Structures are given as structure tokens and as C-alpha cells.
Amino acid sequence: MIYITLVCAAGMSTSMLMAKMQQSAKQRQIDVSIIAMPEEKFKTHNGKTDVLLLGPQISYLEDDLREKYEPQGISVAVVDMVDYGMMNGEKVLEDALALVK
């Protein structure tokens, strides 16, 4: 099982993207757990995360979050702005899977 967490400012737009990613994973029979939440909530999240994807609106946090979470084995990346805007769950899922260590 691969654990993907999407974070953004409020968690709303990433929730829509999460649903598209889950749909793509189900169609492709990929065993993943995908959740979405506000960035603030992730600080106290106790669940497993292999890949942390940031919404483009909080891309300014990328360096800080990489420094904090990559030593814990969590890959951190910003979702491509075009894929985010188009809610291209299939492409974002592909990108996330490519980050799994």
C-alpha cells in the first residue's frame, strides 16, 4: 500500500483532486491510500505518508517541508499547476507514484 497525502491552504481543492486520483487508482487497480487536508492539519497528522503533495497555492512551503519530512522518508513535491487546475487525477497519481522511494 502506498500512502499519498495532499495538502493545500484549506483542503477543499485538494479534496476534489483526491477523488479524481482515487478514481484513477481504482480503475488501474493500484493499491493506494490517498487523503487530503489543510497544511496546518498535516503537522499533527499521525497516519502514514509516503508522498506529500502540495497544492500550487502553498508551493512557497516546499523547501521547508522537504527539509522537515524527507529525512523521515517522505517524498515532497508540488502538484503541477496545470494538472491541478485541470483536476487531472490520473497525471497527478502518476507523478506521485514516481516519487515513491
Q: Could you say which of 4, 8, 35, 65 is catalytic?
A: 8
Write out the three cell numbers for 61.
Answer: 512551503
> Residue 83 catalytic?
no
**Contact call for residues 14 and 42 (beta carbons, < 8 A):** no
Which one, of 9, 1, 4, 6, lies nearest residue 58 by Cα? 9
Catalytic residues: 8
